[in-house]
Structures are given as structure tokens and as C-alpha cells.
Structure 1
Amino acid sequence: MTETRIFSDQVVTPAGQIAAELVLTDGLITALAPAEAPSPQALDWRGDLVIPGLVDIHTDNLEKHYQPRPGALWDAYGAALAHDGQCVTAGITTVFDSLSLHGRKDGLDRKDALGPMIGAMDRAQKDGALRADHLLHLRCEVTNPELLTLLEPHADNPRLKLLSLMDHTPGQRQTANVERLQERMAASGRSAEEIEEVLARRHAGRDPGVAYDNRRKVVAFAREYGLPLAAHDDETLEHVEEAHDDGCAIAEFPVTLAAARRARELGMAVAMGGPNFVRGGSHSGNLSARESAEAGVLDILASDYVPLSMLRAAFMLIDESGWSPQAAIATVTSGPARAVGLSDRGELAVGQRADLVRVSRRSAGWPIPVEVWRQGQRVA
């Protein structure tokens, strides 16, 4: 039995921020008691906050390491290690690697990349080479005729813990503003002819019958394997109500405030992107995460494409939006954990996993994760 004691005058518990000493034993928090000073055996973290390890349910970050430049693929195992290192040093101790089962992004063929990325992460975890706990979130594009062929081989992967339903056909949901989509493609260097070709291909590839059948099959798959479902980029009340009827527990990146509000009314957790919050708006021109917070319909912040954005956004909720420390930190810890059925992490409380982050506020603006612990062991 190994025991570690940690004292801080700023421990963020579910009930509030207190001065306390934590006892970590064999990977769990076994005691947490108010204290004015550290015991002789305790690590003294006075002046820094102690918060739970972050839980990230949506990140595209692995893809960026697998293809660091358009057309340049990296070793998949090395990509897994680099992605893991970037996440854990951002305070993320549980990360859902979010991989799309459709299309191309920046030249990366996601169908071809899927197997190598999942396989490399599986091997790295088996080797004990990863510092964060990596789970799998498969993003199911319902317009893809090959969707089930890509999904079914991973049904028994023990890391598979979340599915999301997506439809990226231009003119609705995330890309309702087609002009904005065209501007983004033009900014990436595509010619007018290439843009028109992409839009035509996306529309031509959408068979309503395929989309409907695939949605029903993914919903059935989730129920069969007991997997939580997220609805991605819902735009209208009808979208949200369909998602709720399908059993979706999470409204992931709703694109309108009306959709976010309806999701909350129906008991779904509303997830928004950390980069959206930090930047002050969606890069797609959709619902601002800050607006969602101001309206009282923000439950979860995910890193989306910048791991360090989660911690920054949570502290912006405290510093700029007036949220209590426990409510703000819950958006990146217990909020996402509970939404995907993880009851063993996300809070500094007796019986929870000893996943925690020591956060310094000594620099202007950005909170700095100076130590990261997972299951009672320092990993960063």
C-alpha cells in the first residue's frame, strides 16, 4: 500500500474551494479533510489550486499528429505518444480520442487512417506507454454508405465508450452557412472550382435513405453494446427532439441557442468547444460557447482541437463570467465524466480515482498545469 499526502489552501471540491489535505492510497482518494497547514508528511502546494484531472470527450488532436502536414503521414505509434503527451501536460487525465468514420480532412483519408490510429493507441496503452487514460469516441457520419462496415470491427474494443451521430451535408447543421464554409475552404487555398466540386460531391453523396437507415443502425448498435450517444451539431428543435428520442445523452456542439436550450429541457448535457469559448466564437460562425454559458446551458467543455483550451476556458468562467470554482471546474471534469457514464473520476472526493492537477495562477491570464497526477502517480 502506497500513500501520498497533498496539502493546498485551494482545493476545489464539489462543495466549494477549501484548504484541505488529501490522502492518496493505491490510486484512489482515501481521505480529504479541511486543514489549515500541511501535516509533516504532506507535499505543500500552498498558493496553487488542486483540481480533478480533466476529462476530454471530444478531440481531433490525434489526427494532427498522425498527419502533421497535408500529405505527410507520421508513424502512428509516435503520433499516439505525441498526442498523449500534449493532452496530459494540458491537465487531461482521461481523453476520448474522437475519430471520424467518414471523408477527408486536410487531405487525410479518414477511412484509411482509422485502423492505424486505433491500432497504435491500443498498442501504446498495452505497452504502458501512455500517461493519460485513452478511451475511444467514434464519430458516425450517417451519410456514409460504408459506415457500419467501419464501425462494426471495433464493437469489442474495450476502449470504445462513446458514439456520436453526425451529418455534415452543406446547408444545414454545422455548415448551415454555406458562404462561411466557402470562405473557410478558400482560406485553406482551394480554388473556386475545387470548392464547387467539393460541395457538389457532398450533396451528391447524401442519400436520405442511407442517412436514415444508418442513423437507426447506429442507435441500435449503441443500445446493444450499452454505449452512450451524442448528437453532433443539432440546429433545430426537431433535430434535438429526434436525438432525445434516439437516446442521446449529450448535445455536442449545438449550433443554435434554441437547440441548446431544448436539449437542456430534455435532460441532455450540452457540450461546447474550449477553443470556441477562448476565442469568443465558433470558427464556423455558429453558437458561441460564451453565449451558451451566459444563457445557463453549458455543462461540458471539450478540447475539440486545442487541448490546453479546456483549462483556460474553465478559469475564464471563474474570472470573467463569475462562476464558482466548483461549477466552472465541473465543466471539464465531473460534467463530461458523468455524461458518458464514468462515475469513478471527475471529483476530488473520497473513493474517486486519484486523478488531479496542480494549477498555478502566477502568470497573467493562462492557468498553468504544473503537476498532473493519474491514479495517484505523477505523470507530468
Structure 2
Amino acid sequence: MMTAIAAATTMHQQVLFSRRIVLADRCISGEVVVRGGFIAEVVETADPSGTAVDLGDDLLIPGLVDIHTDNLEKHYQPRPGANWDDLGAVIAHDGQCAAAGITTVLDSLALHGERNGLDRAAAFPKLVAAIDQCTRDGLLRIDHGLHLRFEVTKSAILDIAAPYLDHPRLRLLSLMDHRPGQRQLHLKSPSDQAVDDTEIADLCRRNRRHLADICHAQGVALAGHDDATLEHIAEAVSLGCTMAEFPVTQVAAQAARHAGMTIAMGAPNLVRGGSHSGNLSVKTAAQAGLLDILASDYIPLSMIRAAFLLVEPDQGFSLPDAIATVTDNPARATGLTDRGRIAPGLRADLVQVRWQPGRWPLALSVWLAGNRVA
């Protein structure tokens, strides 16, 4: 994953000084030396050298890594029934992510279904092609990967998915079941179609297994989605899922933690103060030690805000641990081992943040592979 902008990085050196550089395990005053798009050195020092860009008391953190966002679809259809230009949608989405400090985004796209009037089956191939074209044409500021969302209740899902399961951008696949009364909708009454229908249940099991086998063969991370029960987590573990994405009950989140799964939740849930659908709140999960990753879900700016909310006294996160929920943890969970931390040898994806406790953080400057992109 590399944009055309990043590919143009030269071997020139730049030095960034901050009194609050957030490393993986501590915060330091020092300089980050960048050469050829990578971090060459991290030097502790109280004062900037003559060649350094002085960021003062602003924090320097790694670029954010967003593993789940529906934001692209919102740009493609800004109003019900009004589809916009696909390339323009990608460019606008990309710019919004960059301004929020996100340097890597996994665009979360469903291959089928309808949402707010958007025909996802029709939109999906256009948006994937638009991401590819914008990248080739050098129109994007940040890195874009794919997070494919599969509704396992659909009989033709494997045929629809086939052309995309070896796409070079694919980093994550999630297994979804949005039947009434199931998972995210477990608090709502089922419709006329019984949720325990044997034929549908068998189809779901077959689809989950086939998709899991493909993921394992290609080294793509696999996530369970909206897990609500112990049985859901047990099934996810049996399929080789390494991530519990958006568990909707504390029971499921605790089971995921016991099974060694990474737990990802939506940042808007924390910023809003709870789940919009009445499910497990991020605040409760974080206080119980059941949170590893924050994703933007549907608002790019929510990630940086939520990470700093975790530092508040009632949450109990250190600043490095809080920042890791939007940088290192999502990067590692999706196999992106070249980013997510400020450390020698890693890509120089960096964000200058102005922040004081109790206030909104502001991403003032954003670098992708050493190049200023916002």
C-alpha cells in the first residue's frame, strides 16, 4: 500500500523536534530524524538542533490507522438517491481522512445490500476501481487498503466476492449477519423470517467457513462482527478469526479477550457517550480492559478525539496506550508492520497534534512517508 505521492519521496533528511513525542511506551522530548520516507533516528533532547522544525509543546504521534470506515459511501451518495462522481468521492474522503490525522485507511465496503437508498452491489466495483485509479493518478494523500464486509446470509456471496479476494489492497475481511434479532440487532424483534431457520443457518456456516479458508490461504486478517454471545465468539475462534470487531455485549467482549482476540470498537461510540443502538459502550469496555482498537466507523475525526478521551482519569489509559488504539494496534492487527509507531526503521507517518486535557485535539500537520500531506 503506497500512494503515488509517497512513492515520490526523495532521500533528503528532515528533523522534527517536539517536547512531547509519543513513543510506544513513554513520552519524550526529542527529535525524529526522517530520511527517504523512513524514521532514521529518535534522539532524546531538551532543545531543538539548528536544522530541526520546532513543534514546541505540540505532540508528535504516529499516523492514525483506520481499519473500518463507511465514510467513502457517504461521499459517493451524499443524499438519498443522489450518487456523486466516484473519483470525486474518493478524493473528498481521502482529504477528510488526512485532515483527521489518518494516514492509512481500510475502506470498508459491502459487496451487496442497500443502505439509506444506496445500492451497495452496484457501488462496490465502481468505488474499488476509483480508489485504484486515484492512486495511479497520484490524486490521493494517504494510503488506502480494503476491508471487505461479507453478509454471510447471502447465497451468492462467494461468486460476488471472487474477483476481489486476491486484490492487493485487501487487508481485512469481516463476517456479518444482520438478520433481525441477531448480533447488532439482538435487541430488536425478528421479522417474519425466523432467525433460527435451519436452511439460513446452514448457509451462514458454509459461507463463514469458505471465506475463512480463503483468508487463511491468502494471509488476510479475519474478523467476527457484532458478536453478542459466547457461542458467537466460540464460532469465530473456530474459524480462525483474530479480531472481534464491534462486540455488542460485555459477555462477548470478555470471551474475546479470554480467547486472545483483538477487540475493535467504534470511536463515535466513545465520543457520543454510548452506542447509538443501545449496545456495549466503548467507555464500559475500556474501563474493563476490553478495548484494543478504535476505528472511525463513520466519522473520520472521531478517532483522534476518542484516543485522547481514553487519557481522562476515569478511563485509566496512559497516553502511549491510548494512542496505540488508533496507531500501532490496528496496524499490527492487519499485518501492517511497517507503520504505527515512532521508531527507527518504520515509515515516517506522523501527526503534529495540538492538545490540552479536556480539549479537542487538532491535527495541525500530517506526514505520509515523510511527505507533508495535510
What is the TM-score normalised by the length of structure 1? 0.92
Which of 280, 283, 296 is residue 289 of structure 2 equivalent to?
296
1:101-159: CA deviation from partner (whole Å, max 9, x where unpaired): 23100011111111101110111011111111000000011001121122110123111
Aligned match of 1:310: 303
The 1:35–1:76 alpha-carbon spacing in structure 2 relative to 1, beyond 3 Å, is same
Q: CA RMSD in A?
A: 1.7
1:336-370: CA deviation from partner (whole Å, max 9, x where unpaired): 01111111100001111100100012696210000
Aligned match of 2:316: 322
Shift of 1:293: 0.2
Distance in 2 of aligned mates of 1:205 and 1:62: 36
Give, as a single letter, the amino acid of the residue that structure 2 aligns with 1:3: Q
Shift of 1:59: 0.3
Which of 231, 249, 253 is residue 256 of structure 1 equivalent to?
249
Give, as a single letter, the amino acid of the residue that structure 1 aligns with 2:271: V
Secondary structure in 1 matching 2:124 = helix
Distance in 2 of aligned mates of 1:115 and 1:100: 10
Which of 195, 219, 223 is residue 230 of structure 1 equivalent to?
223
CA contact (8 A) 1:143 1:205 kept: no
CA contact (8 A) 1:5 1:23 kept: yes
Distance in 2 of aligned mates of 1:300 and 1:364: 22
Is 1:74 the counterpart of 2:80 in the alignment?
no
Is 1:3 the counterpart of 2:31 in the alignment?
no
Distance in 2 of aligned mates of 1:108 and 1:121: 18
Is 1:141 the counterpart of 2:160 in the alignment?
no
CA contact (8 A) 1:169 1:202 kept: no
Distance in 1 of aligned mates of 2:287 and 2:23: 23
The 1:290–1:32 alpha-carbon spacing in structure 2 relative to 1, beyond 3 Å, is same
Aligned match of 2:336: 342
- The alignment covers a number of residue pairs equal to 362
1:295-354: CA deviation from partner (whole Å, max 9, x where unpaired): 011000000001010100000011342311100000000010111111110000111110
Shift of 1:264: 1.0
Give, as a single letter, the amino acid of the residue that structure 2 aligns with 1:39: S
The 1:206–1:18 alpha-carbon spacing in structure 2 relative to 1, beyond 3 Å, is farther
Larger displacement relative to structure 2 (35-44 or 363-372):
363-372
Shift of 1:177: 1.1
What is the TM-score normalised by the length of structure 2? 0.94
CA contact (8 A) 2:354 2:362 kept: yes
CA contact (8 A) 1:52 1:348 kept: yes
Shift of 1:280: 1.0
Q: Between the two proteins, what is the percent identity of the paired residues?
A: 54
Gaps of 5+ in 2: 1-10
Which of 102, 105, 110 is residue 112 of structure 2 equivalent to?
102
Aligned match of 2:265: 272
Secondary structure in 2 matching 1:98 = strand
